Amino acid sequence: MSPSSSSDILIRKLQTISDIREAEIAVLKSIPIQEKDFSANHDLVREGDHPVYSFVVLDGLIGSTKYTSEGKRQITSFFVGGDIPDLHGLHLSVMDCNFSTLTPARVGFMRHDVLRSICDQHPRIATAFWRSTLIDAAMYREWVTNVGRREAYTRMAHILCELIFRLRAVGRIQDHIADIPITQAALGDALGLSTVHVNRMLQELRREGLIATTGSRMHAIDWPGLTHAGDFDTTYLHQKNPAD
């Protein structure tokens, strides 16, 4: 992937949530991005790290994760192409969670000193980055509600709706068909469910005619029905022009 196409993924994401002009786009295209490929289940950032880089997701799926003292994992959010999961690291001296690949992934690392300099010189870019972190916080709030108060069936429908909506917003998929090679164990860690329960909920969604799956390929064949089943309202994603 060329440097320009790397920045294009970031730019497209920021354009879905903020107003950036040609001048800011040119600046974003100039950011040096060091690309690297990772296999699934690799910790990109660990709790306690003092990073000097933030990374943009170029391909694949990243999760923010926390572990209990007993070693149990909770996935607290998913990140897709164009997201900068650890952007808050610009202003926090130590990381308080892990960011791990949930699928094979490509990411691009950007130096903090470069990003800080750009934010100081270009307020509109700083605003776009700030808005991105605020939307990340909104997603965390939605996930707390999803895991804490919704039934398992609704939880599963909701998380699938969110993934499909966000992938479509940045042009990673068309229609409502997504290749999501995430394990059922990872879905369980995101939803607070056992692997067996995850499997049952997916089967139920298939029986209801809401989704069809072939391997890692998932098709939301009844999108309105799936959003209703998942109690899914896109407001918390704060898209400029939300797609159906």
pLDDT tens for residues 33-48? 999 999 999 999 999 9
| Cα(161)–Cα(165) distance, integer angstroms | 6
225 and 158 in one domain?
Answer: yes
What's the pLDDT at 2? 47
Q: Residues 115, 168: one domain?
A: no
Same domain assignment for residues 94 and 13: yes
Domain that holds residue 88: 6-132
pLDDT at 243: 60
Query: Which CATH number characterizes residue 154's domain?
Result: 1.10.10.10
Contact 6, 36 (CB under 8 A): no
Q: What is the pLDDT of residues 78-115, one digit of tens each?
A: 999 999 999 999 999 999 999 999 999 999 999 999 99
Residues of the chain short of pLDDT 70, as ranges, are 1-4, 243-244
Number of domains, the chain: 2
Q: Please report, in angstroms and rounded to a whole number, the separation of the first and last CA atoms in the chain.
A: 30
Distances (CA, A) of 209 to 145, 195, 225, 226: 26, 22, 9, 9
The DSSP 8-state label assigned to residue 88 in this structure reads G
pTM score, whole prediction: 0.95
Task: Report the distance separating Cα 192 and Cα 188, nearest Å.
Answer: 6
- Report the CATH number at residue 41: 2.60.120.10
Residue 170 lies in a domain: yes
- Residue in the structure block whose two tokens are 């808005």: 131
Give the integer Cα–Cα distance in Å for 95 and 176. 35
